[in-house]
Chains A and B, each alone.
Chain A
C-alpha cells in the first residue's frame, strides 16, 4: 500500500510524459488523476482511526541490499500521514496552478512534477536510512529540471545553486549515516540501515556531536535555516509557479521532517546540548528572514524570505522538544505549506498577467483584479499570524512551548510576530493599493484559479478553527516521541503534558 503511493506517482509521471503526443491537456489531466488516485489511497488510513502509541499505521519491509542490511522499509505514522496529505494536496494545487503557465514540453514538466512529489513522499515514508537518502536525492533531480527548464530569467544560476547546496549537504549526511552504521556494526556485529535498529546505537558524546552535525546541516539547508538559506530566494524566485509551490509548500518540510524523525531521536543527548544553538539559529532566521523579506521589491523573493522567517519558528519549536512546541511545529508545517503555496500561486498569476514580479511596477491592481487582491490580502493576513487562521495556531503553540525552555530566546522569536505584519502588509500595499503606476488591462482570477484558491482558503481556515483534527492524527507520534525523552533534557517536565489538556478540551 505504501509502496503503491510512490509507485502511482512514478508511473503517472511516465504516462504524463508520454501522453504529450495526444495534446497538451493530456499530461495535465493525467497528473491530476494520478494525484487524486494517490489521495484516494490514503483514505483507509483515516477511516481506520489512530492506534495507541508505538503502533505504526502501516509499514512494509523488503530486502534490498542484504550485504549492508539495507531494506526497502517504509512506514507511516501520524506525522508522516499529515505531511503526505499535504504533499498530495499541494501537488494538486501545483498542477492546477501550472495549467496555463506551462505551454512548452508539458509532458516532461508533469513528469518532473510527479517525480519530485514521489521523492518527497518517499522521504516522508522511508524508515531505512539508505532508502531515505535515496529519496532525499531523487527529489532534487526533477526539481532541478523544473527550475532549469521552465524557470525565469536567471534560472541556470538558481537551479545549479539549489542542486549544489542540497547535494553537497546531502553527502555530509550520507557520510554521517555510514559512520553511524559502522559504529552500530562494531557494537552489534551486523550492518543495518534500519531506523529502529540504529535508534539503539550508543554513541560517544564526541562522535555523536559530529554525526548529528552531518544530519543537521543537510536538513537545515533544506529547511532552510540561517546561514544555509541563500539558495532559497533564488530557487523560489526563478522556479515556475508549480515548482515554487512544491518547493515552499512541501520540500522545505522535508528538512523539518528529517530533524524531527532522525536528528532528535537518533542523538538525544547531543541535541540537548545543541538546542540553544539550534534555537538561536531559528530565532536568527525568524528575524533576519523577516527583515530581508521587507526589503525585497521582487514579489516572489519577498514570499521566499518570509519562508525563511516562518521556518525559523519550526527550528525553535523542534529544538524546544516538548508537547506544545511540537504540536505547534506540526501545525506550522501544514499552515505554512498552504499559505506560502497560495502566495506563490498568486505571485505566479500576477507574473503571468503583467510579466513582472517587480512590485515597483505594480500598484493599484485592486481596481483591476479585485478577486486576486482580496485573496492576496487573505493569505497575507494568514501568513502574518491572524488568530483564527492556521499560521497563528502553529506559531503561538511554538512560542508557548519554547517559553518553557528558554524565555529570552522566545521573547526574541516573538519579535517575528511584529515583523511579519510589516512585510506581509507591504506586499499588499505595494502591489494592490496606491496609485496605478502602469496601465494594466488584465484578467482577474477565473473559475479554475478561484477553485484552487478556494481549496487553499478552506484548508487555512480549517487549520485555524479546528487544529485539533490535525493534532489528533499526530498525537500518537507525539506521545511516542516524547516518551523516553529524559527529564533533564531541555524541558522541565510537566506532570501532565499540555498536549493532553489541549486534546481534552478540543474533543468535539
Chain B
C-alpha cells in the first residue's frame, strides 16, 4: 500500500514527470522555443527544490521497486542540475539553428526521469524501466538534428547498440530470475546463485558495460559523442553514465554480486583495460569531441575502482568516492562541452583542435573555462578532479587494488598529455584574429561561470560536500542475515 509519505518521498520524480507532461502540452498548444525552454528550466528548478523537502523522509522503500535514500537523492540533485545545464546549453545551441526545437526539452526531462528512477532502482523491473526511459530519450536527442547525417548515424548506432545491450540485460535478468526466483536486489543477496545466475549476472554487466562505454564495449562512444549535438553529448556523458554507475554500485552491493570472485576479477580487468585503452586511443585524436569521448572511457575505468573496492572497504566509502568523483566529473565534463557548444557557430560545431588555436587571445574567458575543465579532468590539485582522484586513491589503496591504481597512474599520465595538448593549442598565438561572433549567449556564460566556481569550490574546499555524504550516506550491504 502506498501511503502519502511514500508519495511525498517520490516528489522529485513526480514533479519532474508532471513537468514533462506540462511541457508536452504546452508545445501542443503553442509551439514556442522560449516558452518550452523557460517551462523546462522552471520545472527542473522546482524538482530540485523538492529534494531538500524529502530528505527527512528517507531512506524509504516504496513498493519493492524503488528505494529513495540519501545516496539516490544526492545523485538526483546532480543529475537534475546537469539536466539544467544541458537545457541552457541546448537553448543557446538550437536557438541559432533551424527546425522545430521544442521537443528537445521534453526529451531532456524524460531522460532525467529515467536517471532518477535508475538512481533509486531497487529491483530489476525499475532497473530496466529506468534504463529504457533514459536510453529511448537519448536516441531521439542524439539524432535530433534530423538533417545532419552524422547525428543520424550516431543516433542509429546508439539505438542498435543500446538495443543489443537491453537484450543482454533482459536475458541476464531472466537467467538470474530463473535461478533465484526473485528480482529484488536485496533478496538476491540472500540467495547465492549457481552457474546460470552467474552467467546472468555477467550478461547484466555486459549491458552495463555498453552503457558506460567500458572497454571492450566502447566502440560506439567516439562516433556517438562526435555525431551528437554538443549539449546532448554533455548530457549523455554525464547523466546517462552517472546514473548507470549509481545503479551498478547499488545493485552490486545489495545483491552481493561483487562478492562473486569471477565478477570482481572481470570488473577489475575491465577497469584496467578501460583506463589504458581509453587514454591510449585519445592520444592520437585531433577532434576535441573525440578526445573527450575517449577520455571519458578512461574516466569510467577510473570510476570502476570504487565498485571494485567496495568489497573490501565497504559500501559507504565506495559510495562516497563514487559520488565525489561523479560530482567532479559532471562539473568538468559539462564545462568542457559547454565551451564546445558556445564555440560552435550556427552552421557547424567547433570540434577540430584547430578551432581552438589562440583561444586565449581571441576569447580568453572561454579559454580559461576550458583550461580549468581540462586541468580538472587531468586531476590537477585545487580542481574538483583532483579531489575525485584522491578519493579513488583512498578507496583503491584501502582495498589494496595495486594493479588498478597502477593503471590509474599510467592512464592519468597519458591523459595529461592530450589535455595539455588542447591547452597548449589554445595558448598558441592565433593565425589571424577572427571576428568575435556577434551573439553573446548570456545564459551559457552564466552556466559556465557557475561550473567554474563549482570546479574550484569542490577542489579548494570540498569539506561541505563531503559532510553531506559522510557519514550519512548509507548503501545497505545486504546479506543473508537481513532477510
With A137-B380, A156-B424, A175-B409 already in contact, 8 other A-B pairs whose C-beta atoms are closer than 8 Å: A64-B463, A137-B386, A160-B417, A163-B420, A167-B378, A168-B409, A175-B393, A182-B397
Considering the complex of A and B, which 6 residue pairs feature the smallest CB-CB distances, nearest first? Answer: A168-B413, A134-B381, A137-B381, A171-B409, A67-B466, A178-B393
- Would you call B88 an interface residue if the criterion is a C-beta within 8 Å of the partner chain's C-beta atoms? no
**Known contacts A175-B409, A182-B397; A134 and B382 CB within 8 A of each other:** yes
Pairs A–B under 8 Å by Cβ, sample size 22 = A63-B463, A64-B461, A65-B466, A133-B381, A134-B381, A137-B380, A138-B380, A138-B381, A141-B375, A141-B380, A160-B417, A163-B416, A164-B413, A164-B417, A167-B378, A167-B416, A168-B412, A168-B416, A175-B393, A175-B409, A178-B394, A182-B394
Question: Counting CB contacts under 8 A, is A148 at the interface?
Answer: yes
Q: Does B60 contact A (CB under 8 A)?
A: no
* Bound CA span A160–B378, Å: 13
> Which residue of the partner chain, among A65, A134, A149, contacts B427 with CB atoms under 8 Å?
A149
In whole angstroms, how far apart are the Cα atoms of A171 and B380 in the complex? 10
- Let me know if A65 and B416 touch, CB within 8 A: no
Contact among A63, A67, A168, A174 with B393 in the assembled complex (CB-CB below 8 Å): A174
**Interface of B with A (CB < 8 Å)?**
375, 378, 380-382, 386, 390, 393-394, 397-398, 405, 408-410, 412-413, 416-417, 420-421, 424, 427, 461-463, 466-467, 470
Asked whether B390 lies within 8 Å of A145 as measured between CB atoms, the reply is no
Chain B residue nearest to A140 (CB atoms) is: B380
Render A119-158 as a binary contact track against B, CB cut-off 8 A, 1 for contact.
Answer: 0000000000010011001100100110011000000100
B397 touching A179, Cβ below 8 Å: yes
Query: How many A residues face the partner with a CB closer than 8 A?
Result: 30
> A189 to B196, alpha carbons, bound, how many Å?
42
- Give every chain A residue within 8 A of B380 (Cβ-Cβ): 137-138, 141
B305 to chain A, nearest CB (A): 12
Main secondary structure of the interface of B (DSSP, over half): helix
User: Judging by beta carbons under 8 Å apart, are B463 and A175 in contact?
Assistant: no
The CA-CA distance from A206 to B424 in the complex, in Å, is: 42
> What is the bound-complex CA distance between A164 and B409, given in angstroms?
11
Shortest B306–chain A CB gap in Å is: 15
Q: Is A23 close to B, CB under 8 A?
A: no
CA of A160 to CA of B410 in the docked complex: distance in angstroms?
A: 15
Find the B residue at minimum CB distance from A172: B409
A159 within 8 A of B: yes
- Residues from chain B with a CB closer than 8 A to the CB of A63 are 463
Closest-by-CB residue of B relative to A167 is B416
| Closest chain A residue, CB of each to CB of B413 | A168
- In-complex Cβ contact of A68 among B386, B394, B413, B417 (8 A): B394
Give the chain B neighbours of A68 by CB distance below 8 A. 394
Q: Mark A212-254, 1 if CB is under 8 A from B, else 0.
A: 0000000000000000000000000000000000000000000
- State how many angstroms separate the Cβ of B38 from the closest Cβ of chain A: 37
Q: Does A66 contact B (CB under 8 A)?
A: yes
Contact A171 B397 (CB under 8 A): no
Q: From residue B327, how far is it (CB to closest CB) to chain A in Å?
A: 14
| Contact between chains at B382 and A138 (CB < 8 Å) | yes
Contact B393 A160 (CB under 8 A): no
Residues of A within 8 Å of B409, CB to CB, are 168, 171-172, 175
For A60-92 the 0/1 string (1 means CB < 8 A from B) is 000111111000000000000000000000000
Tell me the complex Cα distance, A138–B383, Å.
10
Query: Complex: how many Å from CA A148 to CA B463?
Result: 34
- Per-residue 0/1 for A318-357: is the Cβ within 8 Å of any B Cβ (1 yes, 0 no)? 0000000000000000000000000000000000000000
Q: Which of A64, A148, A167 is within 8 Å of B424, CB to CB?
A: A148
A141 CB contacts on chain B under 8 angstroms = 375, 380
Say yes or no: A182 contacts B382, CB within 8 Å.
no
Question: Shortest Cβ distance from A138 into chain B, in angstroms?
Answer: 6
CA–CA, A141 to B397, complex, Å? 27
